[in-house]
Amino acid sequence: MAKDVYINDQGDFEQDDKGGVAMVDGLDEIAQSCMIALNTRKGGWVLDTNEGLDWGAVIGSNVHDQFVTAAIRETLLEDPRIDEIHDVDFEREARVLKVHITIEVKNQLKEVVWEAGVVND
């Protein structure tokens, strides 16, 4: 599996005392890749405008769970390493959408928790 630079919850790289950058691999790297894909708006990356999440299905006043689920599934299944999306569960509170997603990679399950703020304009 791939190895990548670890990105913390604030979106920053982490370094040790000697300036070495923390790395992530295995299922954690794939989960981090999922977070990056979900936080990228479809059409927002100039090198590939098909990459990312269709935020039109996620934000606004007329959002339906089935459209959110479909948009998330479509985005994550673009990664050929992900075999299946098993669960997509929602929590909505104070205009924040928190989504618990279970991905399957080579018969292993990994939960990914993604949060989007101000989803109902």
Q: Which domains does the chain have, with CATH numbers?
A: 3-117 (3.10.450.40)
Residue 32: predicted pLDDT = 94
Nearest residue to 53 (alpha-carbon basis) of 80, 79, 71, 36? 71
List the chain pLDDT tens, one digit each, 121 residues: 689 999 988 888 988 888 899 999 999 999 999 999 999 999 888 888 888 999 888 877 777 888 889 999 999 999 999 999 999 998 877 777 889 999 999 999 999 999 876 555 4
Let me know: does 26 contact 1? Beta carbons within 8 Å: yes
- Report pLDDT for 27: 94
| Cα(22)–Cα(46) distance, integer angstroms | 28
Cα 87 off chain centre by: 14
Whole-prediction pTM = 0.84
109 in Cβ contact with 86 (< 8 Å): yes
pLDDT at 117: 66
